[in-house]
Amino acid sequence: MTKRREFLKKAGAASVGAVAATTLSAPNVHAASTIKWRLQTYAGPALAEHVIKPAIDAFNKAANGEMVIELYHGDQLVPTGELFRAMQNGTIDAVQSDDDSMASPTAVTQFGGYFPFATRYSLDVPVLFHQYGLNKIWDDEYSKVGVKHISAGSWDPCHFNTKTPIRSLDDLKGKRVFTFPTAGKFLSRFGVVPVTLPWEDIEVAVQTGELDGIAWSGITEDYTVGWADVTDYFLTNNISGAWCGSFFANQGRWNDLPDHLKTMVQLAFDSSHYYRQHWYWGGEAELRVRGTKLKLTSIPDEEWATVEAEALKFWDEIAASGPVAEKVVNIFKEYNATMAAAGRPYRY
């Protein structure tokens, strides 16, 4: 925390280079005019190697000294819950996160991360944004608060990994679980006790018994970040088919970029979305079949159907919170009805 405070005091000064010692190196070309951005991701170092670093490496290479994006990991400069405020006031320039966990003050915040049962597959997220109007809604809402919403993409589905097996809804009761704010609000209806902790503290919290499990990711992430080493079971039922996250930037810093660099930033972030599509999709299947660290359990379909039915009630409650929320929920309803009517392979 001391380092974070020092950084906040010195943000924008030349000494920020010392803080960035662990970030990506960049070509020393046109140094006097190089545009520098500080981007913080929600992800820790191991996960960032996949969910963002390849795209940032590629961007910095292609920018050829005109611009450098310095990458910081989850909670490295500011806590995840303060990411929005830090970006809005220009302390950092850009963010990779979901709306929910970075606590953005918008009408769409609760739909970021894992909105219960809004999606079934990772492709649902880009289709909702590009073909069903969510891009326009997100752009409008973030424009009101001085932030540029650059693009949204999908991550992995939301499953439970726990110390003890989950084979029925009763097994969820009383479980202290690290999860997202809106997902936690929904899961509390089934006796889950949502717990909020810094991301880097989760592994130790499971080991010490402060947490009984995690509902934050799919099995790929469990293996990648070490959670499969401290939990024993993986529940195959999920409450969402894909995490919805985005890239954001301070509006002023975005406006200052020349058009060709804006295009390059968008292309780089789109490549990150594409990478995650295949990395997670393949990883989820591979580790279920050949992974050796987590035993798979399932809640019977007929019992899990009550959770899905409760999600629709939850949707209606959220829709009643305001016109923007109602519009987004109606899009989810229209989209999922279309997918169901389309049948296989869209819905089963």
Q: Return the pLDDT at 348.
A: 84
Q: Return the pLDDT at 20.
A: 42
Q: Residue type for 296, please?
A: L
Instruction: Indicate left, alpha or beta for 65 from its phi (over 0: left) and psi (-120 to 50: alpha).
Output: left
pLDDT-wise least confident of 11-20, 34-43, 97-106, 321-330:
11-20
Q: How many structural domains are present in the chain?
A: 2
User: Residue 345: is its pLDDT beyond 60?
Assistant: yes
- Cα Rg, the chain, nearest whole Å: 20
Q: Return the pLDDT at 30.
A: 46
Q: Which residues pair with 37 in a beta bridge?
A: 69
Whether 120 is covered by a domain: the verdict is no
% pLDDT > 90, the chain: 89
pLDDT-wise least confident of 4-8, 148-152, 297-301:
4-8
Helix axes 134-143, 124-131, angle to 10 degrees: 70
Q: Return the pLDDT at 13.
A: 46
The average confidence (pLDDT) of the chain is 92
Last residue of a domain, one of 284, 300, 316: 284
130 and 269 inside one domain = yes
209 and 233 inside one domain = yes
Cα 143 to Cα 109, 153, 248, 269, 304: the distances in Å are 14, 19, 11, 19, 39
- The two tokens of residue 1 are 């925390």
49 and 15 inside one domain = yes
pLDDT digits (tens, 9 = 90+) for 179-194: 999 999 999 999 999 9
80 and 227 inside one domain = no
User: Residue 156: is its pLDDT beyond 50?
Assistant: yes
257 and 229 inside one domain = no
User: Residue 15: is its pLDDT beyond 70?
Assistant: no
User: Residue 290: is its pLDDT beyond 50?
Assistant: yes
210 and 261 inside one domain = no
pLDDT band at 277 (very low <50, low <70, confident <90, very high): very high
200 and 64 inside one domain = no
CATH number where 192 lies: 3.40.190.170
Per-residue three-class SS string for 133-145? CHHHHHHHHHHCC
- The two tokens of residue 347 are 């819905």
% pLDDT > 70, the chain: 91
Give the residue numbers spanning the domain of 275: 2-104+125-154+244-284
256 and 218 inside one domain = no
pLDDT-wise least confident of 6-10, 207-211, 271-275:
6-10
299 and 221 inside one domain = yes
73 and 6 inside one domain = yes
User: Residue 16: is its pLDDT beyond 90?
Assistant: no
pLDDT band at 295 (very low <50, low <70, confident <90, very high): very high
User: Residue 7: is its pLDDT beyond 70?
Assistant: no
DSSP string covering 12-69? TSTTHHHHGGGS-----SSGGG-EEEEEEESS-HHHHHHHTHHHHHHHHHHHTTSEEE
Contacts of 205 (CB under 8 A, 6+ apart): 178, 195, 197, 211
pLDDT digits (tens, 9 = 90+) for 63-98: 999 999 999 999 999 999 999 999 999 999 999 999
32 and 176 inside one domain = no
